Structure 1
């Protein structure tokens, strides 16, 4: 592990990504004049979030839009690029865990990022990942 990204940069990236995803989904809902309380809208929000947070890093060297802007990315413990399976574990499985614990696990994860030397949260431990400032190998 090298050049580990800490709490504030990761929080900033997550907030920027959430804002971006929210704006895109909000625009889709507005353009199609959907009822924001409908189940269809909720499905679009859920699927859109999963597609963004799972597929984008899996195919773009561990980057989301905000992580790229802030020069951080998700990598496997050996420093290699994350794949689809890794991102499903990191985002979907741990999302279920966070939901089942009513958000308590999210708070624990925030403390883990802030206090652990390796800055790894629950989702990082489950998926075998960490967040780094290192560029992809072929970009160096």
Structure 2
């Protein structure tokens, strides 16, 4: 593990990504004049957010849009790019764990990212990932 990203930059990226997803979803709701109280609309909002956090890093070498802006990315423990299975474990299974513990595991995970030397939270341990400032290998060769 090299060039590990810390708590604050990771939190900033998650908040920025949340704002981005919220703006896109909010715009769609406004343009399509959808009922935000509808269970279908609320489920669609959740699915869109989950798809963003699972799929975007798979296609963008571990980056989400905010992570790219802040120059951090998710990688496997060996430094290789994340795949679909890894991101499902990290986001879906990790998110499920945070939900069923009523957020307690999320708080524990935040402390882990803030205090552990390797800066890995529960979701990172589940998926075998960490967050780094290192760029993808093929980008380094082009620089």
TM-score range, shorter chain: over 0.9
Q: Distance in 2 between matches of 1:114 and 1:93?
A: 21
Q: Distance in 2 between matches of 1:135 and 1:58?
A: 15
* TM, length-normalised to structure 2: 0.97
Once the two structures are overlaid, the 10-residue window that deviates more, 109-118 or 44-53, is: 44-53
Partner of 1:9 in structure 2? 9
* TM, length-normalised to structure 1: 0.99
Give how far 1:127 is off.
0.1
Give how far 1:44 is off.
1.5
Unaligned segments of structure 2, at least 5 residues: none
Partner of 1:89 in structure 2? 89
Partner of 1:71 in structure 2? 71
Q: Deviations over 1:66-99 (max 9, x none)?
A: 0000000000000000000000000001111000
Q: Distance in 2 between matches of 1:4 and 1:17?
A: 20
The answer to whether the 8 A contact 1:13-1:66 is kept is: yes
Alignment of structure 1 residues 1-140 onto 2, 5 Å: 1-140=1-140
Q: Distance in 2 between matches of 1:59 and 1:105?
A: 28
Unaligned segments of structure 1, at least 5 residues: none
Q: Distance in 1 between matches of 2:44 and 2:28?
A: 9
Q: Distance in 1 between matches of 2:46 and 2:101?
A: 19
Q: Deviations over 1:73-132 (max 9, x none)?
A: 000000000000000000001111000000001100100000000000000000000000
